[in-house]
Structure 1
Amino acid sequence: MHKVENLKIWTKSIALTKAVYLLIASLPKDEKFGLTSQIKRSAVSIPSNIAEGAGRNSNKEFKHFLSIANGSNYELHTQLLLLIELNLIHEEKVQPIIEQCIEIQKMNYVFQQKL
């Protein structure tokens, strides 16, 4: 078992989730229950699955939950790109968050290889 608070990937995914919530607050109100809701779920899923995996009994189980977290990350990445494509938000506001997604995707891959 791993102490989740000591995992850099978890800490960065918490920061990503906070950034997503701040970004979402600036979206039009009519998106509140559409894409916005899905984006929030994807973002929260990333650190949640990392935490769940850290609490499991084996590295094999941990890798499984890291894989789920990575899938949620790619889902979030796609949804952020949709915000830009749908002209709901300017690209310069979203790009730093997309870069955080990519960094966590790379960290996740390396971490899985080390387990």
Structure 2
Amino acid sequence: MASFTDLETWKQARKIRNTISGLVKEFPVEEKYRLTDQIVRSSRSIGNNLAEGHGRFHYQDNIRFCIMARGSLTETLDHLIVALDEKIITDETLRTFQAEYESCLRLINAYIQYLKTKKGAVD
């Protein structure tokens, strides 16, 4: 891969980031420095970690950043569950996001497995 932007995993993370960016524009003003800020940061962190890991020299470093991306993805889901509990979003909005979450999670896990295979071939 020439660039992290070629990774299907990163493309899915970008899609999630853009979805969240549009969604939070509808959040209440009083959530701006609470939930809105938290969810924007965690959604951006998914792709950021995938990009940073891709730029690392060793497979193990890349794997570590993929694991952090997976954590940020899960954190983003948790923030949306909070938004549901606070009645900021609907059940339908959460279900739609969960489908995107599952897709991204599968891609990250597959990418981690691929990197582990490559790492094993080098050891």
Residue type matched to 1:113 in 2? Q
Equivalenced residues, count: 115
Instruction: Structure 2 unaligned segments of length 5 or more: list them.
Output: 116-123
> Could you list the per-position Cα deviations for residues 80-115 of structure 1 after superposition, in whole angstroms to 9, with x for gaps in the alignment?
111111111212123212221121111111110111
Contact 1:49/1:66 (8 A) holds in 2: yes
Residue type matched to 2:76 in 1? L
TM-score (normalizing by structure 2)? 0.88
> Could you list the per-position Cα deviations for residues 36-77 of structure 1 after superposition, in whole angstroms to 9, with x for gaps in the alignment?
100000000000000000000011110000000000011111
**Identical columns (%):** 27
Task: Tell me the C-alpha RMSD between the 2 structures.
Answer: 1.2
Which residue does the alignment assign to 2:72? 72
Normalized per residue, the structure richer in helix is 2
SS at match of 2:26: coil
Instruction: Structure 1 unaligned segments of length 5 or more: list them.
Output: none
2:12 equivalent to 1:12: yes
* Distance in 2 of aligned mates of 1:33 and 1:94: 21
TM-score (normalizing by structure 1)? 0.94
Which residue does the alignment assign to 2:106? 106
Q: How does 1:28-107 map to 2 (within 5 A)?
A: 28-107=28-107
Contact 1:80/1:98 (8 A) holds in 2: no
Residue type matched to 1:14 in 2? R
Moved over 6 A (4+): none
